[in-house]
Amino acid sequence: MLNRIDLRGSAEDPRRLLPRAAIDVTVATEQVRPTVEAVREHGASAIREATHRFDGLEVKQLRVPTEEIERAEAELEPAVRAALLESIARARKVHEDQRRTEVTTVLGEGGTVTQRWLPVGRVGLYVPGGLAVYPSSVVMNVVPAQAAGVESIAVTSPPQKDTGLPNRNILAACALLGVDEVYAVGGAQAIAMFGYGFSDEEPACAPVDMITGPGNIWVTAAKRMLRGTVGIDAEAGPTEIAILADDSADPRHVAADLISQAEHDPLAASVLVTTSVELVDAVDAEVARQVAATRHIERVTEALNGPQSATVLVGDLAQGLRVVDAYGAEHLEIQTRDPRAVAERVRNAGAIFVGAWSPVSLGDYCAGSNHVLPTGGCARHSSGLSTQTFLRGVQLIEYSHDALQQVAGHVVALSDAEDLPAHGAAVKVRFNG
C-alpha cells in the first residue's frame, strides 16, 4: 500500500506537500571533487585508480577494443537485435523531424539576421550500468546526436565485474549505431574523463564539448562540477512516474505502471493522483498482488514504501491537474476519460503518456520519443533530451552601409543612455569620412 496524501478541499501549494526523494547533490559534489580533480591532473592513471577503488576492477584498456564491440554485436540475441533496430528506427524518425531550419529575417533593405543551427562538435554520452544496464539509453543518447549532425560521439559505461567491459548489449547497441569509441569507465571518473580527456595512455581520449545521459548521484555531482567546462543536458535524479487517473482507469494497468518505475531504483518515485477512493483501494490490492510476483521485489517494495512515493487524493480533475503541474513529473500518464483533452491541459511534465495503451515502458524503448527526461520537478523549466540539445543557435548579422545608417542614430542614443559612448563612436566613425 502506498502512503496516502489527501488534498481534497486543500488550498495549500501542492509543492510543499508532494513526495520527493531526499538527495543532496551539493554534499555529493564535495565527495567527488577529489576524483574529478585527480582525473584533470593525472588523466588515465587517475581513472584507473578510481575504477579500482570504487568498482574493484583493474581494467586492461579504458577504451574498448573494436573487436569486442563487433563481437558483442555478432553474439546479440536475435530478439534483442530486432527490438533495438526497431527502437533505433522509430527514434531516428522522431528525432530527425526535430531538426531546425535556417531562417533569415529581413529588417529593411540591406539588413538581415540569419539564425543558423550548428551541431556541437564532440559529445560524451554516459550510459548507466549499475543496478540495471540500459542499451536503450545508448539509443536515446546517440540517435538525437546523430540527427543533429554531431561528428564525434563517444560512449562510456561502467565495466562489469565478470568481463571488465561494459555490458555486452550496450556494446552491441553501439555497434548497431555505428559508434566505435566506447570506454569501460563509470561514475564520476567517467564524467571527468570526458570533461578533461587524457593523453597519458593510447589511444588517447579527447575532451568533449557536451556530456549527456542519466546516472547516479555521483555522476550527477560530477556533471554539476564540470558545467561550464562542458555543456551538460541536466542534473538527473531518481526516476519518477506520476499517473493522473479517474474512476475509469483500470487498476491493473495503474498498479503495473507504478511498479515498472519502482523497478529502476529504491529511490524511484511512483505517484498516483486520483479523484477516486475506489480506484486507490483497487490499486493497493493490485500492487500487493503484482509486487509479490515481480523479480526485483525488494527494490520495488523499498521504492513504493519510500517517502518519494504516494497516492494523492484530489477533489476533482482540475485540482489533479494543479497537483501534477506542481509535481512536474519526469513521466506523466493520463488515465482518464478523454485523456487527450486532459493531456493538452498539462503544462509541466517531461513526457506525457496519453491513455491506457501508452504506458511509460513504451516510451522507455519503442515509442520513438526520448526517455532521457528532467526529474525532481525540473520539467517546470527544462526539456528532455532531443535533437535540439545538440544544436547551438548562431546568429549572422549582416548590414549594408545604408542599412546601418538607418539605425545609427538609435545606436548612438542608446549607447549615450547607458554611458557607453565608445559604442556609439564605433558606429559614427563609419560615417565621418
Q: Indicate which residues carry an active-site annotation.
A: 330-331
Q: Is 98 annotated as a binding residue?
A: no
CA neighbours closer than 13 Å in the CB half-sphere of residue 71: 9
Contact yes or no for 308/261 (Cβ under 8 A) = no
Q: Is 52 annotated as a binding residue?
A: no
The answer for residues whose C-beta is within 8 angstroms of residue 24's C-beta and 6 or more apart is: none
H helices of 43-134, in order, are: 44-55, 66-74, 78-96
Q: Is 261 annotated as a binding residue?
A: yes
CB atoms within 10 A of CB 69: 24
Contact yes or no for 127/153 (Cβ under 8 A) = no
Q: Is 418 annotated as a binding residue?
A: yes
d(CA 244, CA 249): 9
Q: Is 189 annotated as a binding residue?
A: yes
**Three cell numbers at 213?**
545521459
Sheet with 152-156, strands from edge to edge, namely 182-183, 152-156, 122-126, 210-212, 231-232
Sheet with 103-106, strands from edge to edge, namely 103-106, 111-119, 391-399
The answer for residues whose C-beta is within 8 angstroms of residue 64's C-beta and 6 or more apart is: 165, 166, 171, 182, 183, 184
d(CA 149, CA 154): 14
- 152's enclosing H/E stretch is strand 152-156
The answer for residues whose C-beta is within 8 angstroms of residue 95's C-beta and 6 or more apart is: 143, 144, 147, 370, 386, 387
Q: Is 183 annotated as a binding residue?
A: no
**Three cell numbers at 383?**
526539456
DSSP letter, residue 205? B
Q: Is 364 annotated as a binding residue?
A: yes
Q: Is 86 annotated as a binding residue?
A: no
- 18's enclosing H/E stretch is none
Distances (CA, A) of 349 to 8, 243, 312: 22, 11, 17
d(CA 146, CA 153): 8
Residue ranges of the binding site for NAD(+): 126, 189, 216
Numbered residues of the known binding site: 126, 189, 216, 239, 261, 264, 331, 364, 418, 423
List binding-site positions for Zn(2+).
261, 264, 364, 423
